[in-house]
C-alpha cells in the first residue's frame, strides 16, 4: 500500500484514544501490526507534562504518526490545528476531520474541501475524513488530496459498513486512489468486508480500545484485514440466485 509515496505493509491503522492504560495501548499496537497510528492534538496538549508523556509513548511505538484534527468544526480551526500538529510531530501528514453534525459526527464536506485546498497548498499531505459521496470525492481530489478516507458508519458506533453500495461505487470510480475506510468499524468481520470490497486499508479505534481484551481484539483485526485482502486478490465467486451443486450430477450412480 502506497500513501503519499510511503510504502506500508499493513492495511490496518489504529487510533490511540480510550485505552485502559499506556501499556495496553502499546501492546495492542504491537499485536495489530499497524504501521500508522492517529493522534489527536486537541486531546493531547503538546506543551503540558501529560502531553509530552503521551508523545514519548507514541515515539516508542516506532510507528508513523498521522495527526488528527478531531473535534474541529470550522475551516479556520482545522487549519490552525493542522499547523500545530505539523510543528509538534514533524510530519506533513494530517487526517483532516471537520465535523458538521453533532449526533452523527458527519463530516462537513463543504468546509472539508475548503480546508483540504488550503492545507495542500501549504505543503500538507491530507487524509480527509469524508463520506462516500462521489462528487465530494472528486472535489477533494481536485483540491490536492491523494488519499480518501470515507466513513463506514458514524464514529464510535460500531455499525460496520452502512452503505455498501456507496462504498462499492467509490472504489469503482476511483480505482487508482488509495481508499481507507475510517470510522464505524466494530468487528473484525466489518474490516474484512471493507478489504473484500477492494479498499486499501481500515482505520479504527474504539473497537479495539474499548474491547474487553484490546490486545486480543487488535490481533483479531490484524488477521481479518489480511484475510479480506487475500480474498479480494483471489477473485471471489459471484453470488447466485439459485443453488448450484458442488458435486456433479452427471455420471452419478443411480438405483432403479
CA distance 14 to 203: 6
- The answer to whether the annotation marks 228 as part of a ligand binding site is no
- The answer to whether the annotation marks 205 as part of a ligand binding site is yes
DSSP structure string for 194-219: HHHTT-SEEEESHHHHTSSSHHHHHH
116 CB-contact burial (10 Å; exposed 0-12 / middle 13-18 / buried 19+): buried
Sign of the C-alpha dihedral computed for residues 227, 230, 231 and 232 taken in this order: positive
- DSSP element (H, E) containing 139: helix 134-142
Q: Quick check: helix, strand or coil at residue 235?
A: coil
184: left (phi over 0), alpha (psi -120 to 50) or beta: left
- The answer to whether the annotation marks 100 as part of a ligand binding site is no
- The answer to whether the annotation marks 69 as part of a ligand binding site is no
User: Known catalytic residues?
Assistant: 95
- The answer to whether the annotation marks 90 as part of a ligand binding site is no
DSSP structure string for 5-60: TEE-S--EEEE-SS-S-HHHHHHHHHHHT-SEEEEETTTS-TTSHHHHHHHHHHHH
**What are the binding residues for 1-deoxy-D-xylulose 5-phosphate?**
156, 183-184, 205-206
**What are the binding residues?**
156, 183-184, 205-206
Amino acid at each position: 500500500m502506497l500513501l503519499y509515496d510511503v510504502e506500508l505493509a499493513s492495511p490496518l491503522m489504529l487510533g490511540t484514544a480510550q485505552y485502559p492504560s499506556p501499556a495496553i495501548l502499546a501492546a495492542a499496537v504491537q499485536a495489530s501490526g499497524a504501521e500508522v497510528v492517529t493522534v489527536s492534538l486537541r486531546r493531547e496538549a503538546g506543551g503540558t507534562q501529560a502531553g509530552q508523556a503521551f508523545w514519548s509513548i507514541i515515539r516508542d511505538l516506532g510507528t508513523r504518526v498521522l495527526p488528527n484534527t478531531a473535534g474541529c468544526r470550522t475551516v479556520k480551526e482545522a487549519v490552525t490545528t493542522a499547523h500545530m500538529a505539523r510543528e509538534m510531530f514533524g510530519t506533513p501528514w494530517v487526517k483532516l476531520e471537520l465535523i458538521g453534525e453533532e449526533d452523527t459526527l458527519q463530516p462537513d464536506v463543504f468546509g472539508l474541501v475548503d480546508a483540504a485546498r488550503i492545507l495542500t497548498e501549504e505543503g500538507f499531505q491530507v487524509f480527509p475524513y469524508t463520506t462516500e459521496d462521489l462528487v465530494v470525492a472528486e472535489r477533494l481530489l481536485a483540491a490536492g488530496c491523494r488519499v480518501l478516507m470515507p466513513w463506514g458508519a458514524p464514529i464510535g458506533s460500531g455499525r460496520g459498513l452502512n452503505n455498501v453500495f456507496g462504498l462499492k461505487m467509490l472504489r469503482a470510480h476511483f480505482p487508482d486512489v488509495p481508499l481507507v475506510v475510517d470510522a464505524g468499524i466494530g468487528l473484525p468481520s466489518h474490516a474484512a468486508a471493507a478489504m473484500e470490497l477492494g479498499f486499501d486499508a481500515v482505520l479504527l479505534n474504539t473497537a479495539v480500545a474499548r474491547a474487553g481484551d484490546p490486545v486480543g481484539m487488535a490481533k483479531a483485526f490484524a488477521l481479518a484485514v489480511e484475510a479480506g485482502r487475500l480474498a479480494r486478490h483471489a477473485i471471489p465467486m459471484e453470488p447466485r440466485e439459485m443453488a448450484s451443486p458442488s458435486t456433479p450430477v452427471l455420471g452419478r450412480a443411480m438405483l432403479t
